[in-house]
Amino acid sequence: MLVESLQPRNWDVSALGAFLLLFLAWFTSQALLFLYRITIHPLARFPGPIIAGLTYWYEYYYDVSKEGRYLWKIIELHEKYGPIVRINPNEIHASDPSWFAEIYHGTNTVTDRDGWYNLDFLGDGLAFTLGHELHATRRAPLAPYFSAQSIRALEPRITGVVARMVRRLEEFHASGHIVNLYHMFAAYALDIVSEYALGEDGSTNLMGLPEMGRAWSEMTTAQIRNNPLGRHFKSTMRVMLFMPEWVLVRLVPGLDGFVKYQDSLLRQTQRVLTQNDTGEGVLPDKRTILHELAASPTLPPREKSLVRLKDEMNMVIGAGGETTAQTLTRTCYHLVTTPDVLARLKRELTTTLKDPDKIPSIDLLQNLRYLTAVVEEGLRISFPVLARSPRVFRRHALQLGDWTVPAGSAISMSPYIVLTNPEIFPDPFKFNPDRWIDNPDIQKYRVTFGRGKRGCLGKT
């Protein structure tokens, strides 16, 4: 009888019972996780709404359902809770501008990128590298190509694209057609950075297209709008990128263009790597960022694989194109809507540039005082990078005023909050280049593209 009672038929559990057991297990684990997050979690004592500390769905609501509004909700939270606030289960956000340098320190500090916030489904490029040591390894061979000296060496290529842009403007003027500055500046930036990264054969050559950079701009806009969703569902996004295009375009409109671009970039990367292997078809003065990375003696072999280098070029081209186009477009808008600033800039240019048909050198332009101030103010008020960039201090806690942020926790501060602080920038939404003239104290708040070892390479 005992043996019979132990037979499998006596252990039969209904499907409903199994489901209830699984649900109970899941519910219990979630309840314990929530309890941990608001009681003994290292960030439990920090101010902020309880729901933000409980779950990432709070951020999801504002960044996905409300389409990227979490930054403005964070600003509201700071107004309520003070200069430091818990914005998700493992992240603290600060708003005191004096802390920016502490968070994004440039020397002798080991900081990792926060894994949850990272958009690693976009590739394995420098910008999405988590660990401090690997980031340093990847950045070292890239940095020289964005130094002031390297940019000066790039001047003939820049001048060539500027000349093509001027011709397009003349065509628009002669025909009476309206020019979309965003599309034009996207073409300008991408034609320069893509040729610098991949060579003449890899240049996007958008300036010659009827609508210039429109297709790229629309693709980039679609990708950026999907980033918050991808942050919450990384695994799903990775799977979707391998789906057929006809399926992908129905699930996420606009993302099919991103996949096509990645395929094209992979082919261009393979072309350059083949040139490096054969040593044919590349003159010394035509070698590109990709050529040099592929031949770098400091990068280990795994860092020079086809896909890894493709991802790096995707980062270089994407970051160099979108942020530049946004900044130039918005700066032009502010110049047109601030006539006194535009008139003063024109006076400086006409006084200094004797030949209007000759494109001035970079050195000459950098010595123009008011133009430099206009550029600085354009960078400040254009906000090309709104996203926060959480850092994780791996080895030690971070002291911010009276607060101690535990090691291993994510801490961030949005550049937008610094750049619109009225105590630093009075009347912050006014386009006022004069604030940058004879004001050395303001320079430490030039945080448009971040600070420290993970700051933007192209901010030179």
Let me know: does 212 contact 178? Beta carbons within 8 Å: no
The dihedral sign for the CA sequence 121, 122, 124, 130: negative
Let me know: does 386 contact 414? Beta carbons within 8 Å: yes
Q: Measure Cα distances from 184 to 165, 217, 328, 446 in Å.
A: 8, 10, 10, 26
Q: In sequence order, what are the residues at sequence separation of 6 or more whose Cβ sits closer than 8 angstroms to the Cβ of residue 61?
A: none
Q: How far apart are CA 159 and CA 350, in angstroms?
A: 19
Q: Are strands 91-94 and 410-412 parallel, antiparallel or unpaired?
A: parallel
State the Rg of the chain over Cα.
26
Q: How far apart are CA 271 and CA 285, in angstroms?
A: 18
| Token pair for 411 | 């801490």
Q: How far apart are CA 226 and CA 367, in angstroms?
A: 41
Helices then strands, counting H and E runs in the chain, come out as: 20, 7
Three-class DSSP category at 9? helix
| Token pair for 59 | 């951020």
Smallest Cα–Cα separation from 261: which of 248, 278, 273, 276?
Answer: 248
User: Given the structure tokens 């958009």, which residue do they identify?
Assistant: 119
| Token pair for 420 | 């619109």
Burial class (CB in 10 A: 0-12, 13-18, 19+), 47: middle
Residue 332 annotated as part of some ligand binding site:
no
Let me know: does 230 contact 237? Beta carbons within 8 Å: yes
Q: How far apart are CA 245 and CA 123, in angstroms?
A: 19
DSSP helix, strand, coil percent of the chain (3-state; round to 5)? 65, 5, 30
Annotated binding residues: 456
Annotated binding residues for heme: 456
